[in-house]
């Protein structure tokens, strides 16, 4: 018996388009994928649009405007399964740096007429607004992981995503630890695997774009990183970066900041 | 003609709409509405360490992250008075080849060609002409593979730093790309032939073209900012010739020249100003095409992208053959307070950055002028010029012709927001 192909809608919120592009970058798999699923809405790829409901909604980007709060609720209402795709959707992304500052001041810096703009003071992950069924981290997401998630959904099984940190990926590719060997600050030990440990392989530290790994000892890491800083405040900036609004990273950055202020 | 409304433009990067207000069959108001939300990059770049900047600015655009890394790196190197090694410079050009190949192949085949073939998407085209789409995907993939070999991944690569690169890419991984690049050069030449078979909507505009010009190579990373109206400025002088403004209907800033002219950046500007610097295969493809320069039809940007695709495959082959890691991949930085501007040619046009840094290397001020912000007023002016030609067309065809015009600019709305909805309304 032939099953009906699941309908898929791909949406963009506040983001750079890089995670959607990861879907278009599946050059070897795209045509097969288009056979297995029914792409009903994907503005970056096609003009053709069919109305919901959809089986799967894939959402890129974070929520940064009043209108986006309304739109994301419509997405949820139209979809059986919602996947948050990429670090903007799962943690707010780089634009969530406004959450640690005054967004109005930023608007004044960038725009001559901030009164023309509609924005929220915060950039927040999708799960702060609706129920999200599955989060896939990465800035950008790893396309092999996107394929794994879609294949798992099509086969009604749990996707096989690595639970460990970037450290294990370094070991697998035989990269010597940049912290131990060169004293380069790296937050790979606290960061979810998935990228393939590309930064340490280039001789630089991980900057956490796949978000925090589970159960990591960020306190001990922060203490070590502070001894390795190449410029004042590097530890805070490493955690408060692409995934800076993710709770684990947010907490440790706040703690380091408050202790260093006390020390002064 | 009754109202036309396209709530959101498809096959562009980012989000925006288009509004055409008509009065007695004439366009009285045209607006590209950018509802892509502002993300305030120039705000949160302040108080970040200079070496973080290329990683942060990459996130402005998923399709042209390399351009954002390169303009940032050059601007900050200029602020520090640092010059990268010739070998690192060659690797930057090779990396940019990867981005041009990936971005142009995507735009030619997946974003613009469906308009010329009456299709909604490349996937729809794949049902009829699978071989063409498979070839397109391979053309694009090779660009991505090149980016991956140099930068670890194609979207937001991680190897570019202020001063050069973190490390030299593996020589074998680079050399192994040669057979694919040689296939790609032939496929790019076939792309130009295909581009010449399309029937393009007619529109001729007397544009002011603006692009980076370098006497010894096809201008991408260094040189002077040249205008077809004769203005020639150094990169540091850019802001004396081109001004950005904030307009009410847009979350993107709009640029114009000091004499209040709209201008065009991107593949047509580059090809028209820099065709003499094309490599031999690309130059020959241009000559054999019979296309007369300057090309003034915006829809024919696709032909310019095709010629550039040949050029960048050709240059990539050359640079891969010559690739030899020599010395350190980056120069050591000596921090000092300063200010620097950088401009490189993103696939969709000139991308300008300027930074002020303090003595600890912390960013005090950032200014970024993306290509689409420069093209937006020009796209609006083009739509004004186009309206009389489409006004008597059936509604669906008129809408498609206007949308196609916008898409032919390869607008990057996420970048410019600091862009589109087609709505034609009879007042």
> What distance in Å separates the CA atoms of residue A223 and residue B142, rounded to the nearest whole number?
43
What is residue B127's three-state secondary structure?
helix
pLDDT of residue A262: 66
> Which whole number is the average pLDDT over B263-273?
98
- A1 pLDDT band, cuts 50/70/90, is very low
Among A residues 145-174, those touching chain B with beta carbons less than 8 Å apart: none
> What distance in Å separates the CA atoms of residue B171 and residue B213, rounded to the nearest whole number?
30
B contact test, residue of A9, A19, A25 with most B CBs within 10 A: A25
Task: Give the A:B interface size as CB pairs under 8 Å.
Answer: 197
Measured in degrees and rounded to the nearest 5, phi and psi for residue B286 equal -65, -45
- Please give the mean pLDDT across all residues of chain A: 93
pLDDT of residue A126: 98
Q: What is the pLDDT of residues A170-217, one digit of tens each?
A: 999 999 999 999 999 999 999 999 999 999 999 999 999 999 999 999
- Please give the mean pLDDT across all residues of chain B: 91
Q: What is the pLDDT of residues B89-132, one digit of tens each?
A: 999 999 999 999 999 999 999 999 999 999 988 988 998 999 99
> Is B63–A18 a contact, with Cβ atoms under 8 angstroms apart?
yes
Residue B5 has pLDDT above 60, yes or no: no
pLDDT of residue A92: 98
Tokens of B134: 């498979």
Chain B touched by A182 (CB under 8 Å): no
Return the H-helix or E-strand segment holding B337: none
Residue B415 has pLDDT above 70, yes or no: no
> What distance in Å separates the CA atoms of residue B80 and residue B162, rounded to the nearest whole number?
10
Residue A253 has pLDDT above 60, yes or no: yes
Beta bridge partners of B254: B245
Q: What is the pLDDT of residues A69-127, one digit of tens each?
A: 999 999 999 999 999 999 999 999 999 999 998 888 888 877 777 777 788 999 999 99
Chain B touched by A113 (CB under 8 Å): yes
Question: Cα separations (Å) of B175 from B125, B150, B170, B330?
Answer: 34, 12, 9, 21
pLDDT of residue A264: 59
DSSP secondary structure of A210-259:
T-BPSS--HHHHHHHHHHH-SSTTHHHHHHSSTTTTSHHHHHHHHHHHHH
> Residue A262 contacts by C-beta under 8 Å, 6 or more apart in sequence?
none
Q: What is the pLDDT of residues B363-404, one digit of tens each?
A: 999 999 999 889 988 998 999 899 889 888 888 888 889 889
Tokens of A31: 């045509």
Indicate whether this complex's ipTM tops 0.90: yes
pLDDT of residue B417: 53
Q: What is the pLDDT of residues B88-100, one digit of tens each?
A: 999 999 999 999 9
The predicted model scores a pTM of 0.94
Tokens of B202: 């007619």
Residues of B in contact with A68 (CB under 8 A): 37
- Tell which wins on pLDDT, B234 or B258: B234
Within 13 Å of residue B82, how many CA atoms lie on the same side as its CB?
Answer: 25
pLDDT of residue B427: 43
Residue B161 has pLDDT above 90, yes or no: yes
The minimal CB distance from B152 to the residues A30, A34, A202 is found for: A202
- Tell which wins on pLDDT, A260 or A249: A249
Measured in degrees and rounded to the nearest 5, phi and psi for residue A192 equal -60, 140
> What distance in Å separates the CA atoms of residue A238 and residue A241, rounded to the nearest whole number?
6
> What distance in Å separates the CA atoms of residue A165 and residue A208, rounded to the nearest whole number?
10
Chain B touched by A31 (CB under 8 Å): yes
> What distance in Å separates the CA atoms of residue A18 and residue A16, rounded to the nearest whole number?
5
> Which whole number is the average pLDDT over B273-295?
97
């Amino acid at each position: 018996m032939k099953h009906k192909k699941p309908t898929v809608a791909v949406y963009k919120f506040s983001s750079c388009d890089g995670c959607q592009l990861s879907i278009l970058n599946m050059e070897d798999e795209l045509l097969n994928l288009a056979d297995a699923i029914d792409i009903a809405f994907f503005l970056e790829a096609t003009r053709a649009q069919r109305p919901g409901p959809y089986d799967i909604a894939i959402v890129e980007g974070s929520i940064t405007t009043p209108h986006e709060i309304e739109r994301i609720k419509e997405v949820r209402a139209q979809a059986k399964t919602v996947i948050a795709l990429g670090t903007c959707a799962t943690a707010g992304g780089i634009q969530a740096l406004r959450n640690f500052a005054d967004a109005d001041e930023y608007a004044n810096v960038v725009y001559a007429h901030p009164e023309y703009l509609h924005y929220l003071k915060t950039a927040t992950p999708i799960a702060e607004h609706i129920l999200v069924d599955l989060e896939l981290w990465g800035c950008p997401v790893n396309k092999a992981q996107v394929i794994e998630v879609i294949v798992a959904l099509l086969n009604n099984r749990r996707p096989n995503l690595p639970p460990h940190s970037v450290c294990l990926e370094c070991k697998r590719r035989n990269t010597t630890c940049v912290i131990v060997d060169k004293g380069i600050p790296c937050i790979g030990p606290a960061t979810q695997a998935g990228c393939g440990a590309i930064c340490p392989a280039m001789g630089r530290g991980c900057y956490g774009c796949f978000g925090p790994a589970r159960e990591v000892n960020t306190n001990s890491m922060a203490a070590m990183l502070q001894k390795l800083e190449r410029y004042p405040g590097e530890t805070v900036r490493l955690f408060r970066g692409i995934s800076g609004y993710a709770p684990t990273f947010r907490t440790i950055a706040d703690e380091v900041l408050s202790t260093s202020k006390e020390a002064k | 003609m009754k109202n036309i409304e396209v709530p959101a433009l498809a096959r562009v990067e980012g989000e925006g709409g288009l509004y055409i207000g008509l009065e007695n069959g004439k366009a009285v108001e045209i607006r590209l509405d950018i509802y892509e939300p502002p993300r305030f990059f120039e705000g949160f770049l302040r108080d970040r360490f200079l070496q973080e900047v290329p990683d942060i600015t990459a996130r402005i655009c998923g399709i042209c992250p390399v351009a954002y890394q390169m303009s940032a790196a050059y601007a900050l190197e200029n602020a520090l008075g640092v010059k990268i090694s010739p070998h690192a410079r060659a690797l930057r050009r090779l990396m940019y080849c990867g981005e041009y190949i990936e971005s142009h192949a995507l735009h030619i085949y997946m974003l613009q060609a469906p308009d010329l073939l009456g299709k909604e998407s490349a996937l729809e085209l794949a049902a009829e002409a699978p071989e063409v789409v498979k070839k397109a995907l391979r053309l694009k993939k090779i660009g991505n593979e090149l980016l991956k070999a140099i930068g670890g991944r194609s979207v937001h690569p991680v190897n570019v730093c202020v001063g050069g690169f973190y490390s030299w890419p593996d020589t074998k991984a680079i050399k192994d790309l040669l057979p694919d690049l040689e296939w790609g050069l032939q496929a790019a030449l076939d792309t130009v032939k295909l581009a010449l078979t399309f029937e393009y909507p007619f529109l001729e505009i007397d544009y002011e073209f603006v692009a980076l010009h370098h006497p010894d190579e096809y201008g991408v990373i260094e040189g002077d900012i040249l205008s077809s109206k004769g203005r020639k400025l150094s990169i540091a002088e850019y802001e004396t010739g081109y001004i950005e403004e904030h307009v009410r209907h847009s979350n993107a800033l709009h640029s114009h020249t000091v004499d209040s002219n709209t201008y065009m950046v991107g593949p047509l500007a580059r090809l028209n100003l820099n065709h003499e610097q094309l490599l031999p295969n690309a130059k020959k493809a241009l000559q054999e095409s019979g296309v007369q320069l300057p090309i003034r039809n915006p829809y024919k940007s696709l032909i310019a992208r095709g010629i550039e695709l040949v050029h960048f495959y050709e240059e990539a082959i050359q640079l891969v053959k010559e690739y030899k890691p020599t010395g350190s991949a980056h120069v050591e930085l000596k921090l000092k307070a300063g200010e620097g501007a950088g401009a490189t040619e993103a696939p969709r046009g000139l991308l300008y950055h300027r930074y002020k840094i303090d003595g600890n290397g912390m960013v005090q001020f950032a200014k970024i002028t993306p290509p689409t912000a420069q093209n937006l007023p020009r796209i609006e002016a083009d739509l004004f010029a186009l309206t009389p030609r489409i006004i008597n067309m059936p509604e669906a065809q008129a809408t498609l012709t206007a949308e196609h015009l916008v898409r032919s600019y390869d607008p990057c709305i996420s970048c410019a927001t600091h862009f589109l909805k087609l709505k034609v309304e009879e007042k």
